[in-house]
Every structure is written in C-alpha cells, then in structure tokens.
Structure 1
Amino acid sequence: MPSTARFAGLGLGTVEEEIYLRLLGVPAADAEWLATRLHLRVVSVVAALTALSDQGLVEGSGDGNWAAVPPDVALEELLLRREVELRRARGRIGELMRTYRQGRPGTEAGELVEVISGRESIAELWRTLQLGARERLRILDRPPYVRRADPQTELSLLARGVSARVVYHSGVLRDPEQLAGIRTFTAAGEQARVHPELPLKLALLDDRYALLPVTAGTELQSVLLIRPSTLLDALAGLFELYWSHAMRLPAVPEETPEDRHRQLLTLLAAGLTDESIGRQLGVSTRTVQRLVRELMDRFGARTRFQAGIQAARADLL
C-alpha cells in the first residue's frame, strides 16, 4: 500500500489517510471491503475507522457502512482543533522550560545561555528555530562562509511572511557562487546589505533566541543558544548598529548610467578595490577608474570620499 502522507500535519497515520482517501471516492463502504481493497487486516481497518470517526472525518451507519465527511467541512474543523492544541502547547513552553531547568541545576546565567555541540545537532537546532520563527530573522554573516545546509527552510520562512534582514561581509561580493546564492534569497524577499567589517557571525530569531559560534573556526563545532536576557538585547542592538551602517547589496548591473553609478558607489562604500569592482561589474580596472572620475565630476568632488557624501545627499546610496 503506497504511503501518501498528504495529511501528516493533521495527525493522521498512513492507514487512516488511505482509508479516508478511499472513502472519498465511494458513497459508503464497510470494513471488509476496505480491508480487501487496501490489503489490510479487518481489525486494523476497524481501528482506523474508529480513529477517523473520533476526528470527525468519517461517519458510521447502523448497517456497518462508513462514509467520508466532506473534506471542506471535516478538514476545516480538524485544522481548527489542531490550531487550538498548538496554541495550548505553546502556552506550556514556559512551564516545560522550568521543569527542564530544575532537572539541570546551574547558575541563572547557565539557564540563559546553552552550549550546543556537534554539526548535526547545530543543523537541527537551526532548522527548528527557523521553523518556529514568527516575525523576523536577523543575521550577521561573515567569513568563513559555509554552504546553506537547508536553503528550502529559509525560502519557506520568507514565503510565510517572516521578515529577514541579513548583513553580509563585503568579501562575499568577490565570490560569484556565494553571491548567486544570496540573489536567490533576495529574490524571495530577503533584505540584504554589505559591510566591510563584521565582528562575528550572529543569528537572531524574533526577540526570543540568538545563535552565535563559540569560536571563529572554519567549521561550526559549538554554538551558544541565548534566550531572552540583557545579553540578547545587547546582541540585537549590535545587529541594528551594523545594519544602519551597512550598504545595500548591489543590484544586478544595469545599462543605464544612473544604475551603474549607484552600483559603483555601493561597491566603493563596501571597501572593494578597483580590481574587485571591475570583476563585479564585468569591466576593466581602467573603466572603473573612468566611472569614478565621472562621479567625481558629476558632484564637483575632489576626492572619492567627497563624491560619496554628495551621492548620499542625492539619495544614490
């Protein structure tokens, strides 16, 4: 019997799901008929029908037949019940955390900061935190860069309306593969900026959790999970400070002079050399220098710094 798992999120098992789907296609059927069609034991079918009846998905009659309740009614009611159960479970998180902490004696600081070790444990924690994010995700991302282990989770987060703001180290502009990956997320709604100096890697989820590496190694071997505290507030303030000073991620090069100048200014502000800017724009170093001169002439500036100030005033940055 194939496993469809279409309604796993509603708490239905594979047998229950198959029986409900089979009953949708017929006016009614008894347990023996269903057992024969699905290659199951009758006792298993009866148990599944009873469970489906308890959830309001099927109705039994006096002659031993069962009929599916229309899905627009049955599934809507089941969804509402599941939502109520989830809200109740969320409300018990505080109580469960108190029990968890009582079983692990330690200082108050130890309760607010937890060390998670092992790449698999860290990956699972990161995925769980993203799935639980409700409003916003904020990230400082600096080298060494690591490949996104589960990009679909981040894309799903954006798709359900969670705000994502990420400040990348400007070095990412020199890495075409990394930059292409970032473009995928900005196309899905991520707001991205670049900064030439970031002190650490940091992820903030809502105002509930912060995640940062224990050390700045090439691989994440251990991370700190920080819960609501003055430390979490300080890390949130650190992010906002760097976000306010970061430059917008340069757009894909355009042909208009205005767009080309805007991108050039962003790359200059990110601290890239003329050679690196040339690679990013797909032009020679001499062309970059010519574009810089055009900007300086446009704003009547003697230096690049003055041109940047005038561009900011003109809202080009």
Structure 2
Amino acid sequence: MTRATTVIAPLGRWGLSPHADLVYRTLTLSGPATGAQLSRQVDVPEARIGRAVEELFAVGAVRPGYHGRERVWSAVEPGRVTALLQRRRHPAAVGEVYQRHLATVAGLHLDRIPPGLLRRLPTRQATRGRIAELAAAERHEHLAINTEDVISPDAVAAADPVDRALLARGVRLRTLGRPRRGVTWREPLPGSEHREAESLPLKLMVFDRRAAIFPADPADFEAGAVEVADPDAVDRLVQVFCRLWVTAADPQRQGVPPIMLTTREQAILDMLAAGHSEQTAAHELGLSRRTVVYALRGLMDRLGVENRFQLALVLGAAHAIAVPSPAVPATHPVEESR
C-alpha cells in the first residue's frame, strides 16, 4: 500500500489534539521532517507544532532521529499506532487521562531538549531497570507520583526493594497517590512521606532533582517510558510535584496537615493578604523589611515549599490566611526581636 492510500485512524477520539492528528498524518504521508519543515508544510506556528509532536511522542506515535544537529521526526507505522489505541475499551476515559498527561508533558518542550538529555526506554522492563540504576545513585531526595487506583503485586515487588534501600540511605522519599478506596496493594513504607490527591496529572519519578522518568503512554505502561535529564524540564516537573504536594491530603491526619503560625507570622500574612507589600507591611508592624523577608523564608522552609505561590496555596488550603489573628490586630505593631 502506498503512502497516498494509507488508512490513518483519527487520533482525536483517543484524546490527542487536532494539531497532533494533523502532524501525524503529514509525517505518515510525506515522510520524516523537522519541526520547522512541518510548520511550513501545514502552515501552523512552529511552537504549536512542537506541542503537537510532544503529544505524539508521549503516545509512541512518532520517533525522533537526527540529521546533523537537527532533530527529525518520523511517524510510527499507522497499523502499529492503531493496534495500540484499539487495546483501550473506553476511549473517552483514556482521553481524560491523556489530556492531563499531555498538558503536563507539553510544558517540557521535549523537541528543544539537546541530544543526550532525552531518552526513550522502550519497555516496562527496561524502565524498571533504569529506575533501579537511578535510584541506586540517589543521595538526597526521591519524588514519585502514582496515578493508579490499585498498585499490583508485581509493581509492589519491583518497587519495595528500591524504596527500602533509599530510606536505609537516608534519602527523603515523598510519594503522591490517589485516595485509597477499600483494599489497596501497598501501604506507604515507614519513614516515607505520603499524601493523596484526587486529580494527578501524570505518573512520575524524579531522582535527586537531576533526572525524571514518566510513561511514554499513560494508558499502557508496557510501552515504556521517557527519561529526561534536561535541568529546565526536570525543574518544571519538580514544580508540578510541589504544587500538588502542598495542597494534597495527609491520609494519616485525614486532611491537609494543620499549620501552626507564630503571632508574628500571622500578623505578616494578614498584612500581605490585605494587599500590603513587604515594605509597607514592615512599616505598619514596626519591623524591618529584612525581618519580614526572613519570616516568610523561614515559613516556606518549614512547610517545604519552593516559592510564594506555593506558600499561598498551602496556607489557603489549611485556612491559615483567611482569619486575622485575634491576638494581634492587623495594624498593631509587633516588636522586632533584638
């Protein structure tokens, strides 16, 4: 069958965007192309082409190659892609999973990552082997998001030795999962930190904030995974994890962990919530601006958040910034410690 008569299944019903469908058809019918060439062929801005290619790469519909220093994309054979999609009995439900996954992956700009910092792991077995290698080298922190409702015994058998070894070395282990309903296959290990959230965008592991792994196909883990070591992309994934972490529920405490604020912290937060800047809040409270900055930095460190946006999320979730402190009115000076 020639390219001109190749039957290509519509990808939109499986959650991919119209631009992804257009790019896949173009690559299938016209052959390999760079992002710039695709942009000219279909008359779509190159940035949008990049996002479409990322969608296709995440589901295994395209493969990358190189011509000199230029990345060239090729379509996976339509029969292979159709066979992967036809394994799914509920396209609408899978489409929702894809949308969350692809929206996150699109922000990584995989097409711009230099060669050597992006790697495709072709099978689940290869992925587990690579996870074991990266985890063995970890010394500081392991972050993980599990999107499954139930963790299979096979997955537990693969993950438990790795996680226990991390904890034994003093590595901080933080995991996010979906709320547990009824029987689950795996409880959090003693010494690890675990929280739960209803909507999680993608399955993910981050190793010492230096490398990350996520599924190539969010509905078929047998299709392997993508490993990325680009600092900017890894940092984006860490930000995704932290935004989820600060508002997720601690199942051992039946909700978002309570936050105890000092009188000074509460007064500063009340002023900032009322629209004051650090400088004007310091003036109203009789403090130096440096003291206000240090108090906020200390609070962020204590709550394990990365920036002011995440601080606002976690304080809002815990209802810690909506009620003024009864002990210290918002306009009452607070003595600065000497």
TM-score, normalization by structure 1: 0.43
Q: Which of 1 and 2 has greater Rg?
A: 1
* Structure with the bigger percentage of helix: 1
